[in-house]
Structure 1
Amino acid sequence: MAIKAQDVKELREATGVGMMDCKKALVEADGDFDKAVEILRTKGQKVAAQRSDRDASEGAIVTATAADGSAGVIAEVNSETDFVARNQDFVDFAQSVADALLAARPASVDAAKASVQVDGQPLGDALTQMTGKIGEKIDVRRFEVVEAAAGGTVVDYIHPGSKLGVLVEMTGDGDLAEAGRDVAMQAAAMNPVAATRADVPQDVQDKELEIGREQARAEGKPDAILDKIAEGKLGRYFKDNVLVEQPFVKDSSQTVAQMLKGQGADLRRFVRFALGG
């Protein structure tokens, strides 16, 4: 039977699949719109199966925050190539995933794929459909939800290119949005290991102390002062790697902690995602 151009156009608008594939599906379905949709969905599942073992290491970091700043989510949505990662369909899909994760706040990626609704279907099915539509493996590698304490706010930042993003949880009585953006940009640029000294894992501190002792011992320092030298080196490590102790990138004459104090703000925690990190 003859397939009308308008039917092909409507199927493309409904599924996002290419015009030629839509026409072929309508021909196979004898013009039945719903059957054509199922044919395209099945094709998408076949493409997904064929590409399930592919390495999806490109993609984008995306964020979403509640309108009142009470919560935020950061996620890594992957594709096989950077070319696809810059495709508007992929960009829109990745953002819809972030929005859905924020709304549902699931416990894990597996739970999200089974239950989080994206475009009216479970995330796992949406990923399969997107894989069929784009022709590359599309996946969600990880995400994290941050919920603000009472009176606090969550601020997000995506570095140009969408390969790096940060969420920060801020408290205080100042302009938390402005202070939070400055802190998030600092975290993006300087890649700190923790927000405060107390957040640095003990095994990391122990390792730095041991490195300090060995360096001092190699320099011929007396055993009696090795611990003191190591503590000094650990202090310098904190200043380089703890976010609030780092020199503020916009004004290196003050630390991030000093900047925050002047802004009437305080940093509780941050989450930094780099693509593939």
Structure 2
Amino acid sequence: MSVQIPAQRVKELRIKTGAGMMDCKKALQASDGDMEIAIENLRKKGLASADKKSSRAATEGLIESYIHAGSRVGVLIELNCETDFVARRLEFQKLAKNIAMQIAACPQVYYVSIDDIPKNLIEKEKLIEFGKEDLSTKAENVKDKIIQGRINKRLQEMSLMNQSFIREPDISVEELVKQHIALLGENIKIRRFERFILGEGL
């Protein structure tokens, strides 16, 4: 016999997770009413479905700005979703603001993902690594492995999606976005961003 869950408890879980009423009810029944276990199970279920939504077109959304304290660093970001309804959700708007703050806090980040980094820049990084003196005495196969490791690390440093989320360092920005895909039920894409630093280039 399934556990009887009060409607108020189901509503509370829905507010916390954004999941559907029936999903919330089933999650609470499966966890014998334990809210934390129900949230974790819904999160796992949602993250699994997030990858399936990644190919769906995301043409709505918003442009968010963030100006860091002191007004010397500013960020503009375009965050896309599938519908205007989700674009108006507070959770989506908060995600955009958090990502903008993340970009302001990561001056070494220039691209949304590793896939966006130009091939000629990757080749340039390889040439720099090949020329480093600490590798001159290494065997070729060892040298190649070291260089590839360094290149991978450098590319991750330049990619926004690979950064640890500043407010929750045990998850990446990519995982943060996936959590919100699961929460809001739509594909979400960071399309582009621009960082402005006072006096840069003068």
State the TM-score bracket (shorter-chain normalisation): 0.5 to 0.7
Shift of 1:71: 0.4
2:112–2:191 contact (8 Å) kept in structure 1? yes
What residue number does 1:135 align with?
185
1:97–1:118 contact (8 Å) kept in structure 2? no
What TM-score, normalized by structure 1, do the two folds share? 0.48
Matches within 5 A, 1:1-277: 1-107=3-109, 108-110=111-113, 111-117=159-165, 120=168, 121-149=171-199
Shift of 1:10: 4.1
Structure 2: how far apart are the matches of 1:46 and 1:73?
31
2:63–2:78 contact (8 Å) kept in structure 1? yes
- Would the alpha carbon gap of residues 142 and 26 (structure 1) be closer, same or farther in structure 2, given more than 3 Å must change? same
1:119–1:126 contact (8 Å) kept in structure 2? no
Q: Could you tell me which amino acid in structure 2 is paired with residue 113 of structure 1?
A: M
- Would the alpha carbon gap of residues 63 and 138 (structure 1) be closer, same or farther in structure 2, given more than 3 Å must change? same
Shift of 1:27: 1.5
Query: Which secondary structure does the structure 1 equivalent of 2:192 belong to?
Result: strand
CA-to-aligned-CA distance 1:169-196 (integer Å, 9 cap, x gap): 8xxxxxxxxxxxxxxxxxxxxxxxxxxx
Structure 2: how far apart are the matches of 1:83 and 1:13?
16
Which one has more relative contact order, counting CA pairs under 8 Å at least 6 apart?
A: 2
- Structure number having the greater strand percentage: 1
Q: Could you tell me which amino acid in structure 1 is paired with residue 46 of structure 2?
A: G
Shift of 1:44: 1.4
Structure 2: how far apart are the matches of 1:53 and 1:61?
21
Which piece of structure 1 moves more, 62-71 or 103-112?
Answer: 103-112
Structure 2 portions without partners, runs of 5+: 114-158
- Would the alpha carbon gap of residues 29 and 103 (structure 1) be closer, same or farther in structure 2, given more than 3 Å must change? same
Structure 1: how far apart are the matches of 2:43 and 2:100?
23
Shift of 1:62: 0.9
Structure 2: how far apart are the matches of 1:81 and 1:43?
22
Aligned pair count reads: 152
Shift of 1:13: 4.2
Structure 2: how far apart are the matches of 1:11 and 1:83?
21
Structure 1: how far apart are the matches of 2:69 and 2:103?
15
**Identical aligned residues as a percent:** 40
Structure 1: how far apart are the matches of 2:69 and 2:12?
34
Q: Could you tell me which amino acid in structure 1 is paired with residue 184 of structure 2?
A: I
